[in-house]
């Protein structure tokens, strides 16, 4: 009987894989690829590409124009007619385990869900089993605090309390985190790699759950390579920018940052291979899209909304609202009813910068009682520290905003990702065959002997 073990390696394209293998000829990944089928996924999603949309496309077998999932923490009732692959499998009496897959909150209520730790943007810390909720509380705290800039206490929080270790985090990982903290004290450049440390913790939790339950389908998601690509693409691929690496400590350090992130994945792949060989699993490594070089021009300090209640008060909004986790510059809000949501939307044009530009802009249609906004950059606000409500100047801090500066990044989304499969059910393809990412879900279902719905495309065979 086929069983599937999936590593969702967010946003990694073939170019980064090739770059890694060129620099790490002894990598586990090279050995893995020798006998694996290698495909290239292409997403047909409309609008600006984001992983919180492209992963649902992979998981559900339909594009975002059909499932309508476009932003973090939106009401996902719009996608009920096209459930994700893990729900379809559980309904077909296959056992599943999920750790971090995007848009997977809340945990499944099914006897066939042997473990479920939702994504790092979940609006609650519930997990199944409950023992992993300690990890998820720390995970969500770090996401909330570090969504735009690295804080000075993140890794200490990771190590806080024995409960986290009872969630499956190993002593080895604990030592790694302490070692990284010490490196930061010696050389501040290591602070830029802090986000990659979460990958060690999350993988330990996944491995603990996987080892105890051994479901038919198990998936773990990691964003640690994507984060390094966003920030340091230029230093791995300077030719994309007609740039020559200097002898500066910064350039030399970050020319290795993507490789260091891939080292973490490679080590984890080796662990999964051993488990798969012992327990009879196929291994899949997939990404729902990739990244490439991007030129962003002049950087303008960003407005970041910290206090939604202060903003609502100044706008005269009377009602209950809640700010959910999102990635800067996005803001995700939830309201108690449609009337209050629309009242808030109608108040947004009253908030502008010194040049009359609206500060909070609706990016997508609201879904249910959830609203997604984008905080627009404003050179005028960055220079003056002032915004305007009904034409009257108000300091950004008095509106619940702060001004932040961060590395604007040199890598961004493009539609092609990777799909590697090694095992008894792997597709018999040659080269890096280009496939529609909507074929991913039906191919997984087919491999596990579950009929795929009529609305899905034909599987890759």
Looking at the structure, do residues 142 and 258 belong to the same domain, yes or no?
yes
Q: Could you identify the residue written with the tokens 């908030």? A: 351
CATH number for the domain including 118? 3.40.720.10
Q: 387, 404, 421 — which closes off a domain? A: 404
Looking at the structure, do residues 128 and 189 belong to the same domain, yes or no?
yes
Q: Could you identify the residue written with the tokens 């559980």? A: 90
Q: Tell whether 459 is covered by a domain.
A: no
Looking at the structure, do residues 46 and 65 belong to the same domain, yes or no?
yes
In order of 339, 356, 421, 455, the CA distances from 442 in angstroms are: 40, 49, 15, 10
H/E stretch holding 199 = helix 194-213
Q: What total of structural domains would you count in the chain?
A: 2
Would you say the C-alpha torsion 366, 302, 346, 333 has a positive or negative sign? positive
Looking at the structure, do residues 356 and 378 belong to the same domain, yes or no?
yes
Looking at the structure, do residues 185 and 272 belong to the same domain, yes or no?
yes
What is the reported pLDDT for 164? 77
What is the reported pLDDT for 166? 81
What is the reported pLDDT for 74? 94
Looking at the structure, do residues 167 and 63 belong to the same domain, yes or no?
yes
The span from the CA of 209 to the CA of 117, in Å, is 10
Q: Tell whether 61 is covered by a domain.
A: yes
Looking at the structure, do residues 108 and 202 belong to the same domain, yes or no?
yes
Looking at the structure, do residues 331 and 221 belong to the same domain, yes or no?
no
| Domain membership of residue 389 as a residue range | 302-404
Q: Tell whether 452 is covered by a domain.
A: no
What is the reported pLDDT for 162? 59
What is the reported pLDDT for 151? 45
The span from the CA of 169 to the CA of 219, in Å, is 18
What is the reported pLDDT for 156? 54
Looking at the structure, do residues 375 and 336 belong to the same domain, yes or no?
yes
Mean pLDDT by 10 residues, the chain (461 residues): 97 99 98 98 97 98 98 94 99 99 97 98 95 91 62 50 78 91 91 92 97 99 98 98 96 98 99 98 99 94 97 96 94 97 98 98 94 96 97 98 93 99 95 97 99 98 86
Contact yes or no for 455/461 (Cβ under 8 A): no
In order of 7, 87, 140, the CA distances from 133 in angstroms are: 21, 21, 10
Looking at the structure, do residues 398 and 328 belong to the same domain, yes or no?
yes
Q: Tell whether 283 is covered by a domain.
A: yes
Q: Is 148 helix (H, G, I), strand (E, B) or coil?
A: coil
Looking at the structure, do residues 346 and 441 belong to the same domain, yes or no?
no
Q: Could you identify the residue written with the tokens 């206090």? A: 307
Looking at the structure, do residues 208 and 111 belong to the same domain, yes or no?
yes
What is the reported pLDDT for 142? 77
Q: Tell whether 194 is covered by a domain.
A: yes
Q: pTM score, two decimals?
A: 0.94
């Amino acid at each position: 009987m086929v069983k599937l073990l999936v590593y969702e390696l967010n946003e990694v394209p073939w170019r980064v894989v090739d770059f890694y293998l060129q620099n790490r000829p002894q990598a586990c990944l090279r050995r893995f690829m020798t006998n694996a089928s290698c495909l290239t996924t292409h997403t047909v999603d409309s609008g600006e590409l984001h992983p919180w949309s492209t992963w649902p496309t992979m998981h559900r077998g339909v594009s975002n124009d059909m499932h309508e999932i476009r932003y973090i923490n939106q009401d996902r009732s719009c996608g009920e007619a096209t459930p994700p692959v893990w729900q379809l499998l559980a309904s077909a009496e296959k056992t599943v385990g999920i750790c971090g897959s995007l848009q997977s909150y809340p945990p499944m209520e099914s006897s066939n869900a042997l473990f479920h730790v939702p994504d790092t943007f979940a609006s609650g810390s519930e997990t199944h089993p409950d023992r992993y909720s300690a990890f998820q509380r720390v995970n969500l705290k770090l996401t909330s605090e570090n969504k735009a800039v690295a804080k000075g206490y993140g890794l200490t929080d990771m190590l806080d309390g024995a409960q986290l270790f009872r969630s499956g985090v190993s002593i080895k990982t604990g030592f790694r985190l302490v070692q990284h903290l010490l490196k930061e004290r010696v050389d501040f450049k290591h602070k830029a790699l802090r986000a990659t440390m979460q990958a060690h913790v999350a993988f330990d939790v996944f491995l603990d759950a996987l080892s105890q339950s051994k479901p038919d389908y198990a998936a773990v998601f990691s964003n640690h390579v994507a984060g390094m690509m966003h920030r340091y693409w230029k230093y791995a691929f300077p030719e994309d920018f007609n740039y020559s690496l200097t002898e500066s400590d910064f350039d030399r350090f970050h020319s290795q940052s993507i490789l260091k992130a891939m080292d973490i994945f490679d080590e984890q792949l080796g662990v999964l291979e051993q488990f798969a060989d012992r327990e009879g699993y196929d291994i899949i490594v997939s990404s729902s899209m990739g990244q490439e070089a991007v030129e962003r021009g002049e950087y303008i300090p960003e407005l970041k909304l910290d206090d939604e209640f202060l903003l609502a008060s100044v706008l005269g909004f009377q009602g209950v609202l809640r700010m959910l986790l999102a990635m800067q510059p996005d803001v995700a809000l939830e309201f108690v009813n449609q009337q209050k949501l629309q009242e808030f939307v109608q108040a947004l044009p009253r908030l502008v910068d010194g040049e009359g530009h609206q500060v909070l802009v609706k990016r997508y249609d609201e879904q249910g009682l959830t609203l997604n906004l984008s905080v627009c950059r404003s050179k005028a606000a960055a220079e003056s520290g002032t915004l305007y409500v009904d034409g009257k100047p108000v300091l950004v801090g008095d509106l619940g905003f702060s001004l932040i500066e961060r590395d604007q990044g040199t890598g961004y989304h493009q539609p092609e990702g990777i799909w590697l499969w090694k095992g008894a059910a792997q597709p018999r393809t040659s080269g890096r065959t280009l496939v529609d990412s909507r074929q991913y879900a039906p191919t997984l279902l087919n491999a596990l002997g579950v009929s795929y719905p009529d609305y899905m495309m034909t599987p890759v065979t």
